[in-house]
Amino acid sequence: MAPVTVKRVLISESVDPCCKTILQENGIEDVLKFVCNYDGLVVRSATKITAEVISAGSNLKIIGRAGTGVDNVDVDAATKRGIIVMNTPSGNTISAAELTCALLMSLSRRIPQAVISMKDGKWDRKKFMGAELYGKVLGIVGLGRIGKEVATRMQSFGMKTIGYDPITPPEVSASWGVEQMSLEELWPQCDYITVHTPLMPSTTGLLNDTSFAKCKKGVKVVNCARGGIIDEAALLRALESGQCGGAGLDVFVEEPPKNRALVNHPNVISCPHLGASTKEAQARCGKEIALQIVDMATGKALVGAVNAQVLVSSFSPDSHQWILLGESMGRVLKACTASKEPFSQVHVTSLGESLKKSTGFLSSAAVVGLLTEGPQKGPNLVNALPLAAETGITVQTDHKDNECEACVLEVSVNSRSYKAVGSVQAGIPVLLELNGSVFRQPVPLTGHLLFFKAANFTELLLSVTGVLAAAGVELQSFSASTAGSGEQWYCMGISSLLGDIGALKSLVKEAAQLTV
């Protein structure tokens, strides 16, 4: 993928100083003023990047979250604007896992309550009778990076670890000592439960009145992930009834929580969202997000993108020219399509082993070309497919083994189909075929191009060049179709676009011009 121009990045929160240093060393300025002036934005968890903020950031190309969760960023709004959202998924893994373990141990031995009692001048040994973790069952909901680290640490205390995750394969979690099962099987077995999932509709209120009722009486729960995964009202009811024996909470639905009922409950240990609050995690996240932005800006790599997975493979060394090819083919078909009606279907087929993983960015690039109106700023690879879906365009992709590397783009409009075939030769995108017309010489998709469809006759070329000369336009290249009956497509490379393409009407059946 071509480098993304990122010159100014707004760091909206207290991110480790190494983040600013790395950006500045790579020529990216960081200043704290107005979001509309910036190409990039770096946040932690406190800043809410709403649709309104994104709309105000007219130059934004990247939003970097120095941490794991991106629920404080309106990812859908960013995607529609073509803005890449990236996080640092591994930066705070160890810190969050260690805090989880600390809360599990604190719950088992009631350490914070004992500390407060001691500071009050008391010596209540009997009041703070605890329980060993050894031999107890720990249920881990969410077996990603943090869930794995919690499991391996708590196994060293002799805990049995079971878990649930809809993505991590059971054989993978089994390799680090966690037996996977359904939530219905998990709830009644656990002495302790910890959650490590993102906050989304399917995980909101995962622990609620119904699930608490299925748990052992006195089960203890920990949430160092996101507020809302455990239903706070249901948790309070379970604590008051004794169904839940204690909770360790680092996160809340509202932060800081105005309703203090949970915080003030004697069996709740609470922290002010400290999961990533270690010097090591902050340095790691700050460094990682800065390096990720630099790598993206220099076209080196795209790491941590949460809304632009299609772009990951586009950072291969040769991908830039293929992206240009896909976009140029889309622009050519758009220009050479007689109907002004919107496209209904787009089908992109990649040919050749080396393009097997390229259909994603090829289809996005083609849609960019098809949806771009004139020279103004149009969609990009991030938002092309969502915008196509929004406008009712069905996009399909396919791959076929072939000795030659090529891209086939087919579009449908008003029950008519149009087709272009292109490739990259000597590092230059070229058009090989247009709507059944195969060019004798591949058409370089660069500069100003004039396409026209006409029946072959002796004076055709001379007549068209005469129109160009009269308009002060120089002919720079010419590609004719292979001999065939009927009308064929031809292409001319020209020094500038014709002011009036209608001057060709008496000579050709169809004509179109564009700059690629």
3-state class percentages of the chain: helix first, strand second, coil last, to nearest 5: 35, 25, 40
**H or E segment to which residue 30 belongs:** strand 29-30
Is 226 a catalytic site residue?
yes
Instruction: Phi first, then psi: give them for residue 494, nearest 5 degrees.
Output: -125, 160
- 226, 265, 331, 347: which is the annotated catalytic residue? 226
Please give the C-alpha separations between residue 392 and each of 143, 196, 343, 386, 400, in angstroms, as whole numbers: 37, 37, 8, 10, 26
Is 273 a residue of the active site? yes
Residues 510 and 499 sit within 8 Å (Cβ to Cβ): no
Question: How far is 105 from 4, CA to CA, in rounded Å?
Answer: 47
Distance from C-alpha of 511 to C-alpha of 497, rounded to nearest angstrom: 12
The answer to whether the beta carbons of residues 515 and 331 sit under 8 Å apart is no
Length of the chain: 516
Active-site residue, selected from the candidate residues 25, 240, 254, 255: 255
**Which amino acid, 263?**
V
CA distance 251 to 273: 5
State the burial class of residue 225 (Cβ atoms within 10 Å of its Cβ: 0-12, 13-18, 19+). buried
- How far apart are the C-alpha atoms of 339 and 221, rounded to whole Å? 62
Cα(69)–Cα(208) distance, integer angstroms: 22
Q: Is 284 a catalytic residue?
A: no
Q: Is the bond leading into 429 cis (omega within 30 degrees of zero)?
A: no
DSSP strand pairing (40-43 vs 406-413): unpaired
Q: Which residues contact 252 (CB under 8 A, 6 or more apart)?
A: 227, 232, 262, 273
* 8 A C-beta contact, residue 194 and residue 218: no
Per the CB < 8 A criterion, the answer to whether 142 and 197 are in contact is yes
Output the CA torsion 89→95→100→101 (10° steps): 130
The one catalytic residue in 65, 196, 265, 273 is 273
Residues with catalytic function: 226, 255, 273
